[in-house]
Structure 1
Amino acid sequence: MGYFLIGFLVVVLSVGNVIEEANGEIPRTILGKIERINQKGPYLGIVAPNNYELNPLLGSKAYVPSSSLPFIDFAGRKFRFGKLSKQPVVIVMSGLGMVNAGVTTQLLVSLFRLKGVLHYGIAGNADINLEIGDVTIPQYWAHSGLWNWQRYGDGIDNELALESGGDYTREVGYLQFSKYSNRTDNLLNRVWYQPEEIFPVTGTPEERQHVFWIPVDKSYLKLARKLEDTKLPQCVNTTCLPRPPKVTIVKRGMSASVFIDNAAYRTFLNSKFNATAVEMESAAVALISHQQNLPFIVIRALSDLAGGGSDVSNEASIFSSLAAENSVDILVKFVALLPPHGSKIQSE
């Protein structure tokens, strides 16, 4: 009977643990580790999109993993702890797309004591004046995947559905699909780009605000300007780019859970919004950091000309690894510019 009761209790406790994790609660053992880690903070939170970009950072000589607690596994993520260029860091991989990036960044800023968020990786290029391998640091980010798709037959002067209630707007602009039709009527009409609805921690709870362009931290951007025109490797084995890649501060980057391999849409994003880097995660990292009142910056190396258009534009399979390495190189150089641990950079 005694063995039966013990076995029964083990089963009950095991089920309880499964339910605890299934409900998204933090196990006590994990909470204890988080508390220990936070005593040594604040940290720089570093978000990488995928293993492709993460592994070069973990293999960098500038990164030294923590000997006492190198990582914590929670919610399907591995939060790695260590020092990068002598700065305490928490490194995490988000996974593909806006939802993954948003969830991961929110976990990062909620669980750990941070002083800033850095995001890096590769991106498609929407500016034909830049080259594959160039590292871009945009001053603003926007989510370009929140649309109000207009009813067929309505024109640009017609009010959008739910516009009068403040849910949608025509202020940002639109893409008219019929411009790209083959001389036939296009039932798709147009889509109007929308700002994000946000709830900043500094605002009134449940009182929404709207934002389309999210600015990176001015102090971080000022430091990043010191890296502008830094020359980077241009060859993969015997295949070389037309010139050495460089670091460029650009005006804008745009993100959506859409892979852009289309020259017409690339041209539209560049001409309409002056966007350069186009990818799938950075705006989510920017939105979360902005709402949480944390300084952030994004470093994205160009892996291809989105949709093609030059003699090397479709060589992403060759040069993506070079772009990933370049993004890590500049991330490390940027971290080295930050004030020593214990001092504080003044966010502007």
Structure 2
Amino acid sequence: MKFATTLSLLLLLSSILVCTMSTPLSRRHSLSVIRKLNREGPFVGLITVYAPEENAFLASNAFKPDPRHPFVDLSGRRFRIGKVRGKGVVYVRCGVGLRNAVAATQQMLDLFNVSGVIHFGIAGSLENSLRTGYVSIPKQFAQTGLWEWLKANGTVGPEYFAHLDIGSYNVPEGEGINQLGHIGYSAEEFYSESGVPNVPRRVVWANVSQNWYNIATKLEGMELERCLNSTVCLPQVPKVVIGQRGSTANIFVDNSAYRDFLSKTLGVSLAEMESASVIMTSVANGFPVIVIRGLSDAAGGQDGPNSARALGPLAALNTAKVVIRFIELLPSHKKYQDLK
């Protein structure tokens, strides 16, 4: 009996050693650094999407890198460690799209001692009152990329929370039979540590955390930049707006008909490609989360070319300003537990 127990123990130790040795040296070093850094936490998690947003955030000079461990590289992403206005932060650029957003968020929550997540970037406006250059702090997002494309004569059942009839957009309207049929938008399966294990809830809206949203309402009225430089300026003074609904999908919307469909059918005010995933991943794991998005374009509602390339850097600049101010408003990390 003792021999069998000893043999089992040796086999277990051997398997652990094999797993450890099979882990790349660079990853083992990164995980070791993270363990040391986590003793100084919790940190505020910051997640943005692509290079222009990152450039604007780092150019603000509000982020002060940790002098010993300014960054940790994991799975091809660089997690930057430092402080913003005296508060410890972990920052990462996740990459465009739903899968990148989920992967980066889950990795941050699993490995770093974070108190919550601030997700920020740029987006397209779906309503005329939400002007290009404004910064939106939405209350909820729907994942509008989860849909079923039905046959031309298919029936859209009650299991879909919205549907798009392609034939309604024929030009001239009603001309002929459009074989593209219908699209039925499905609710998402949401797994959460607060729910029953392995039993998802069907949800349409992913909500930001109420306590952090309440803090964000104090940002209304803050001053934003109207000009990026001497040649790139907005026609109006931008402002922070609170409480909108957003649409998240792996779709860059630059089509006026689809823009109107999303706005009228779902009552959403902005479209982008990551926020619902960051919210659902954070909430599922029990962490507070807020989204801050600058409006870079009219998502197809504009005359002429899309303005995202020209005005994206200015929208990103103003978004970074709002993020930094929000971090300033957060209480010290000792009080973070009260905000969950």
Q: Could you state the TM-score of these two structures normalised by the residue count of structure 2? A: 0.88
Q: What is the DSSP-based 3-state SS (H/G/I as helix, E as strand, rest coil) of the residue aligned with 1:109?
A: helix
1:17 deviation in Å?
8.8
* Cα distance, 1:239–1:46 mapped onto 2, change above 3 Å: closer
1:337 aligns with 2:326: no
Select which of 144, 161, 184 maps to 1:192: 184
Distance in structure 1 (CA, Å) of the matches to 2:200 and 2:138: 26
Is the deviation greater in 144-153 or in 327-336?
144-153
Select which of 296, 319, 322 maps to 1:303: 296
How many aligned positions are there?
319
Distance in structure 2 (CA, Å) of the matches to 1:309 and 1:59: 29
Select which of 211, 219, 226 maps to 1:227: 219
- Output the amino acid matched with 2:255: N
1:253 aligns with 2:246: yes
Is the deviation greater in 55-64 or in 83-92?
55-64
Q: For 1:81-107, what per-residue CA distance to the aligned partner results, in whole angstroms no more than 9, with x for missing partners?
A: 011111111000101111111111111
Q: Summarize the alignment of residues 167-316 of structure 1 with structure 2, pairs less than 5 Å apart.
A: 169-170=159-160, 172-182=161-171, 183-236=175-228, 237-310=230-303, 314-316=306-308
Q: For 1:266-320, what per-residue CA distance to the aligned partner results, in whole angstroms no more than 9, with x for missing partners?
A: 1111111111120111111111112111110000000010113358x73333211
Q: What is the DSSP-based 3-state SS (H/G/I as helix, E as strand, rest coil) of the residue aligned with 2:328?
A: helix
**For the Cα contact (< 8 Å) 1:150–1:191, is it kept in 2?**
yes
**For the Cα contact (< 8 Å) 2:259–2:301, is it kept in 1?**
no
**For the Cα contact (< 8 Å) 1:48–1:93, is it kept in 2?**
yes
Please list every run of 5 or more consecutive structure 1 residues that lacks an aligned counterpart in the other structure.
1-14, 160-168
Q: Show structure 1 runs of 4+ deviating over 4 A.
A: 15-19
* Cα distance, 1:110–1:268 mapped onto 2, change above 3 Å: same
Distance in structure 1 (CA, Å) of the matches to 2:76 and 2:147: 30
Q: What is the DSSP-based 3-state SS (H/G/I as helix, E as strand, rest coil) of the residue aligned with 2:338?
A: coil
* Cα distance, 1:59–1:40 mapped onto 2, change above 3 Å: same
- Output the amino acid matched with 1:292: N
Partner of 1:12: none
Partner of 2:23: 20
1:78 aligns with 2:78: yes
Identity percentage over the alignment?
Answer: 37
- Output the amino acid matched with 1:117: V
* Cα distance, 1:309–1:56 mapped onto 2, change above 3 Å: closer
- Output the amino acid matched with 1:178: G
Distance in structure 2 (CA, Å) of the matches to 1:190 and 1:314: 27
Q: Could you state the TM-score of these two structures normalised by the residue count of structure 1? A: 0.86
Q: What is the DSSP-based 3-state SS (H/G/I as helix, E as strand, rest coil) of the residue aligned with 1:173?
A: strand
Q: What is the DSSP-based 3-state SS (H/G/I as helix, E as strand, rest coil) of the residue aligned with 1:122?
A: strand
Distance in structure 1 (CA, Å) of the matches to 2:73 and 2:28: 13
1:37 deviation in Å?
1.1
Partner of 1:318: 310
* Cα distance, 1:304–1:215 mapped onto 2, change above 3 Å: same
Partner of 1:11: none
Q: For 1:221-267, what per-residue CA distance to the aligned partner results, in whole angstroms no more than 9, with x for missing partners?
A: 11111111323111232343221100001320111111111011111
1:59 deviation in Å?
2.6
